[in-house]
Amino acid sequence: MSDITQDGPMLAADGTPLKKSLARALRRQKIRALMLIAPLLIFVLVTFIAPIADMLFRSVENQIVRDTLPRTVVALKDWNPDGEEIPGEAVFQALNLDFQIAAEEKNHTKLGSRLNYESPGISSVFRSTGRGADKIGKDAEKTFTGIDPRWKDPAIWAGIFASPEAETALPRSARAYEAFAKSVRAEGKKEVAKAKLWPVVFSALLDDLTLAQPDAAAVAALPAPGPELVNAALAAGLQPIDAKQAFLEINDGWSKLDLWQTISAYSPPYTAGYFLNAADFEQTSHGIEARPPSERIYLKLFWRTLWMSMTITACCILLGYPVAWLLANLRASTANVLMILVLLPFWTSLLVRTSAWKVLLQQQGVINDLLVWMGLVSDGNRLVMINNQFGTIIAMTHILLPFMILPLYSVMKTVPPSYVRAAKSLGATPWTAFWRVYFPQSIPGIGAGSILCFILAIGYYITPELVGGTEGVFISRYIAYHISTSLNWGLAAALGTILLAAVLLLYYVYDKIVGIDNVKLG
């Protein structure tokens, strides 16, 4: 124990200054708390936050053009997309190698479908070129095997390109061969030295020998019989490939300026293109333009999602407020019994409630049958209540109503009844007492319930999908459609990101108004 009369800082039992000792204890406490939280935090970060981040990344990511056509993208930098002419021979030479490799790796169709989202028609150009492009390589192969049949032997290629000199002597061939070797190894069925060569390596070799004079010293340094074969081929007087001519023959589509503008516009690794699409804009060579009115769908859908969610929220307030008031002002025992009527739907499976509404609202369903039986509606004029906006609104209101009633109820429970009595005793009419005294105190509950309902409503997928038909679907339907049917994942991610931004904004507001710690269940 430190002596009280002693000068200097107060000391703890072990002799350290009390301040330091307390700070250490506090730090230890903080670390212990964090250690308890850490497993869950890591779990949520990996299983939930990382997927969301991945989605955000996908909405701008555009590596596919660069990965599939790397040389073409570089060659295209010198081309002026605003001009009137399609790119020249150099670009086509690069495209020749890129495309043949992509076709062997079966990547050309993926790129074709990707670019098809931006400019319809590209996919078919890519497909047909994929079938015909290896003819260019096969012609080159014939030329070389005509000069020396040993060129056909994969083992010779393996020998030559195993040496580091090959990269300097025959750069294009080296890269094409590397792609081939990698693919064979990945397949794992054959050894690289025995597998049948891709025709593209002959194309690349021909380019190497004709487009520029290969470095003689490097060629001489190649392992045997490399120098002999290369020099023999050089001596045979090779003709360069007319890549542009060849491609235009395979498919006329390559002569279209539009196709080249699209490839050029989407060659950077990141793009705002998906977001532009999601907002009904498109990226053209003249800059960003609105799509023609007939192709505008997403803005309309976002708008519909928004106003229908608002309508649903408004319906929930309208139906939830009286019920919450009644529950908050009844005797506890009666209120508990009535509360079951609110909690049972809350706990019942979403699909049960959706199927119930489907059963009720159908043209041959319970409500229509009842109306016909009572003679209010004739059998021929049964009401159409499902597969339209009405169906979505009524089913979603039913599903989200408990989410409005519960927060309203918990706020109304805290409003003292004496205020309204005081207002009345001071001469207020019942309406004034309610509107000027009670209602303002229940506004936090309305705010909390509305935000909760609205957040839940704008992201709903199942119910609108099942009872909404085509008129009552939300933007979520298109997110699902682009993931599973059209496979345009980037657009799905962009639509999702916009929706997420809206929800996070509301979440922030909710946190400010209610505080996320104060969320209560049941």
Partner 1 sequence: MATLAPTLRKPSLTGFVLPLTALAGALLGYLVGNAKGNALLGIVGGAVFAGVLAFVLVSFVPQRRMGRLIGAVATGIAGALIAGVAGLVFGAILGLVLSWIAYWLASGDYRASVPVYATPREVLWANTFRFICGVIFFFLIAPILVVIPLSFNAENFFTFTPKMLALDPEGYSLKHYRDFFTNTDWTGAFYNSLRIAPVATLLSVSFGTLAAIGLSQSHVPFRRAIMAILISPMIVPLIISAAGMYFFYARMGLQGTYWGVVLAHAALGIPFVIITVTATLVGFDRSLTRAAANMGAGPVTTFFRVQMPLILPGVISGALFAFITSFDEVVVVLFVGSAQQKTLPWQMFIGLREQISPTILAVATVLVAFSVVLLVTLELLRRRSERLRGMSPS
Cα–Cα nearest to 434, from 407, 415, 460, 410: 415
Q: Is the dihedral of CA 403, 407, 410, 415 positive or negative?
A: negative
Q: Does 212 bind partner 1 (CB under 8 A)?
A: no
The residue count for binding partner 1 (CB under 8 A) is 93
Which 421-460 positions form the footprint of partner 1 (CB under 8 A)? Answer: 430, 455-456, 458-460
Residue 417 in the binding site for partner 1 (CB under 8 A):
no
Nearer Cβ to partner 1, position 74 or 338?
338
Comparing CB distances to partner 1, the nearer of 200 and 401 is 401
Q: How far is the CB of 416 from partner 1 (least distance, A)?
A: 17
Task: Print the binding letters for residues 58-87 with partner 1: x by CB under 8 A, - otherwise.
Answer: x-----------------------------
Q: How many CA atoms lie within 13 A of 190 on its CB side?
A: 12
If binding is defined by CB under 8 A, does position 356 make contact with partner 1?
yes
Nearer to partner 1 among residue 216 and residue 366 (C-beta): 366
CB atoms within 10 A of CB 215: 14
**Binding of residue 319 to partner 1 (CB under 8 A):** yes
User: What does the alpha-carbon distance between residue 282 and residue 301 come to, in Å, rounded to a whole number?
Assistant: 17
147-152 contacts: CB < 8 A, separation 24 or more? Answer: 147/232, 147/233, 147/236, 148/229, 148/232, 148/233, 150/225, 150/229, 151/202, 151/229, 151/233, 152/197
SS3 282: strand
Interaction residues for partner 1, span 329-348 (CB under 8 A): 332, 338, 340-345, 347-348
**In the complex, least distance from residue 175 CB atom to partner 1, rounded to whole angstroms:** 27
Q: Is residue 264 within 8 Å of 139, Cβ to Cβ?
A: no
Q: Which two tokens stand for residue 41?
A: 């935090």
Site string for partner 1, 138-177 (x = CB under 8 A): ----------------------------------------
How far apart CA 365 and CA 353 sit, in angstroms, is 15
Report how far residue 19's alpha carbon sits from residue 161's, in angstroms, rounded to the nearest whole number.
71
Among 101, 192, 323, 406, binds partner 1 (CB under 8 A): 323
Helix (H) or strand (E) holding 206: helix 200-211
The smaller minimum CB distance to partner 1, of residues 257 and 319, is found at: 319
Q: Does 359 bind partner 1 (CB under 8 A)?
A: yes
Q: How far apart are CA 157 and CA 134, in angstroms?
A: 19
Supply the DSSP symbol for 191. -
- From the list 23-31, 98-106, 120-128, 241-249, the region that binds partner 1 by CB under 8 A is 23-31
Q: Which member of 13, 40, 186, 235 binds partner 1 (CB under 8 A)?
A: 40
- Rounded distance between C-alpha atoms, residue 519 and residue 46, angstroms: 24
Q: How far is the CB of 124 from partner 1 (least distance, A)?
A: 27
Q: Pick from 5, 6, 47, 239: which binds partner 1 (CB under 8 A)?
A: 47
Nearer to partner 1, 86 or 342 (CB): 342
| Tokens, residue 332 | 């506890």
Residues between 486 and 515 that touch partner 1 (CB under 8 A): 489, 492-493, 496, 499-500, 503, 507, 511
| Residue 373 or 435 having the CB closest to partner 1 | 373
